[in-house]
């Protein structure tokens, strides 16, 4: 028979998507929007599986996982972390915190069901393990038009992978480069609808990229977003705009907010 699954997630969009997919497979769903109520609900209901966001109000996901391992009544219930911050070492740190597994955001409907199934005993597997028709019919087909093309410039492979994971499930074509000159070559060959560049690149400055774009008649109209984790003062934003950037973003930023800004600028230019 299908399982009873608790989803602890404070983002309504993610919560709705996960509960919708799991219900469509026949599971019974419980939900909570903060760590404390999720932990209380787990103790009362004893679900077969818990899917828990890491960034939560009142009590974060790491503390929830820690309490699971300290409570004899919860120790045998698998708890899966869900997080968008897929940085090097995160998986090991989450497992060390008490989680039994790890799922990256944004949720990919095509693999999410299989990912959760792996943590359930055979007798609790879904009666049908397939995407609902509504999801299937909205998925871009192999030869369909991309929503927009985004060129991401970053010398960190982790950050490049994060942007691919964030954008590709939503229909974007993602091109990548690691330095400004490489970005220009790529953009001239396959003109993007938007360029997103880290400010601090090895041996290069991301502030130079908007200037190079504006000097190229074929690329002058392409909007450019600059992102930084360290340039926190007002001068950084002013420098970015003065260089020709359409937007300056300071990390950390919630993935949903970042995606919203990308959607706004890319769709305007596509």
Give the integer Cα–Cα distance in Å for 188 and 218: 8
Q: List the beta bridge partners of residue 174.
A: 150
Which residues have C-beta within 8 Å of that of residue 54, sequence separation ≥ 6? 60, 61, 62, 81, 82, 83, 85, 94
DSSP H or E segment with residue 198: strand 194-198
Give the integer Cα–Cα distance in Å for 83 and 97: 14
Q: Where are the alpha helices (DSSP H) in 118-233?
A: 133-138, 157-167, 180-189, 208-214
Residue the block writes with tokens 């419980």: 30
In this structure, the number of other CB atoms found within 10 A of the CB of residue 66 comes to: 15
Which residues have C-beta within 8 Å of that of residue 158, sequence separation ≥ 6? 86, 87, 88
State whether CATH 3.40.50.970 applies to domain 4-137. Answer: no
The structural domains of the chain, with segments of one domain joined by +, span: 4-137, 140-269
pLDDT recorded at residue 141 = 42
pLDDT recorded at residue 140 = 43
Whole-model pTM: value is 0.53
Give the integer Cα–Cα distance in Å for 82 and 99: 10
Q: What are phi and psi of 36, to 5 degrees?
A: -65, -50
- CATH topology identical between 4-137 and 140-269: yes
pLDDT recorded at residue 51 = 97
pLDDT recorded at residue 35 = 95
* 140-269 CATH: 3.40.50.2300
Which residues have C-beta within 8 Å of that of residue 147, sequence separation ≥ 6? 140, 170, 171, 172, 266, 267, 270
Instruction: Give Dmax over CA atoms of the chain in angstroms.
Output: 66
Tokens of 66: 């820690």
Tokens of 177: 């480069």
Question: What is the chain's pLDDT, residue by residue, as a tens digit (270 residues)?
Answer: 789 999 999 887 778 778 878 887 889 999 999 999 999 999 999 999 999 999 899 999 999 999 999 999 999 999 999 887 555 566 778 888 899 988 887 777 767 888 888 898 888 887 665 555 444 444 444 434 578 899 999 988 778 878 887 888 778 889 999 888 889 889 998 899 999 999 888 777 888 889 889 898 999 999 999 998 777 667 788 888 888 888 998 877 777 788 888 888 887 765
Q: How far is C-alpha 47 from the geometric centre of its chain's CA atoms?
A: 26
pLDDT recorded at residue 134 = 43
């Amino acid at each position: 028979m299908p399982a009873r699954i608790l989803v602890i997630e404070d983002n309504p969009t993610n919560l709705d998507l996960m509960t919708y997919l799991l219900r469509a497979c026949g599971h019974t769903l419980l939900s909570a929007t903060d760590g404390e109520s999720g932990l209380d609900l787990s103790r009362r209901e004893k679900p077969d599986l818990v899917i828990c966001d890491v960034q939560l109000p009142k009590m974060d996901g790491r503390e929830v996982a820690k309490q699971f391992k300290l409570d004899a009544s919860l120790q045998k219930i698998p708890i899966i972390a869900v997080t968008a911050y897929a940085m090097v070492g995160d998986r090991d740190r989450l497992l060390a915190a008490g989680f039994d597994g790890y799922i990256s955001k944004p949720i990919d409907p095509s693999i999410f069901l299989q990912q959760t199934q792996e943590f359930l005993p055979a007798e609790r597997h879904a009666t049908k393990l397939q995407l609902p028709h509504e999801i299937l019919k909205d998925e871009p087909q192999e030869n369909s038009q991309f929503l927009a093309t985004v060129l991401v410039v970053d010398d960190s492979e982790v950050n490049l992978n994060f942007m691919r994971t964030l954008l590709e499930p939503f229909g974007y074509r993602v091109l990548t480069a690691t330095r400004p000159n490489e970005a220009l070559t790529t953009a001239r060959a396959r003109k993007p609808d938007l360029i997103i560049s880290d400010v601090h690149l090895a041996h290069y400055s991301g502030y130079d990229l908007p200037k190079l774009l504006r000097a190229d008649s074929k690329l002058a109209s392409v909007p450019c977003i600059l992102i930084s984790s360290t340039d926190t003062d007002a001068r950084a934003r002013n420098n970015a705009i003065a260089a020709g950037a359409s937007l300056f973003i300071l990390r950390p930023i919630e993935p949903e907010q970042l995606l919203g800004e990308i959607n706004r600028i890319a769709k305007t230019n596509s």
